[in-house]
Amino acid sequence: MLDGEEFEQHRWRVGVLAHAGRRRDLVEFLRGNRARVAGWSLVATEETAAALRAEAGLKTAAVLPDDRQFRARLVAGEIDALIVLLPTPRRPAGGPDVMPLLHAADIHNVPVATNLATAYCLVMGLAPTDAAACARE
């Protein structure tokens, strides 16, 4: 567990994953919270990473569209939190089966947001407490 100063200085590593039908929601959400998440290391699938770079101006590392790379990074301790936006908790037609990823996050005590309300809580919980730091864009 990080103490107060370590928490403030930590560069959060956050995996972001969205079903194709929710990608726009994710991009708009992160663009709206750009000042809070700009210092984070974001990891997303290739299409989502490209959209976040182009439309939100956020540096984002890309992984393959299946969740195994996310899971491997999470298990290795390289992801601090996840934002996973899916239309249902079950596997969407043609989409990746994210249940193993969610299970791994649960086992490794990694916070997961599965809707925009919880994603907002996660962002606010990890964002700097200094209001001036959040105001910079």
Main-chain phi, psi angles of 96, to 5 degrees: -70, 150
Could you list the beta-strand ranges (E) of 5-135.
Answer: 13-18, 41-45, 60-63, 81-85, 112-113
| CA dist., res. 119 & res. 84, Å (int) | 9
Phi-psi region of 68 (alpha: psi -120 to 50; beta: other; left: phi over 0): alpha
Main-chain phi, psi angles of 45, to 5 degrees: -65, 165
Q: Of these residues, 67, 80, 97, 130, which one is catalytic?
A: 67
List % helix, strand, coil for the chain (3-state, nearest 5): 50, 15, 35
Active site residue 25: no
Closest by alpha carbon to 48, among 91, 96, 120, 89?
96
Catalytic residues: 67
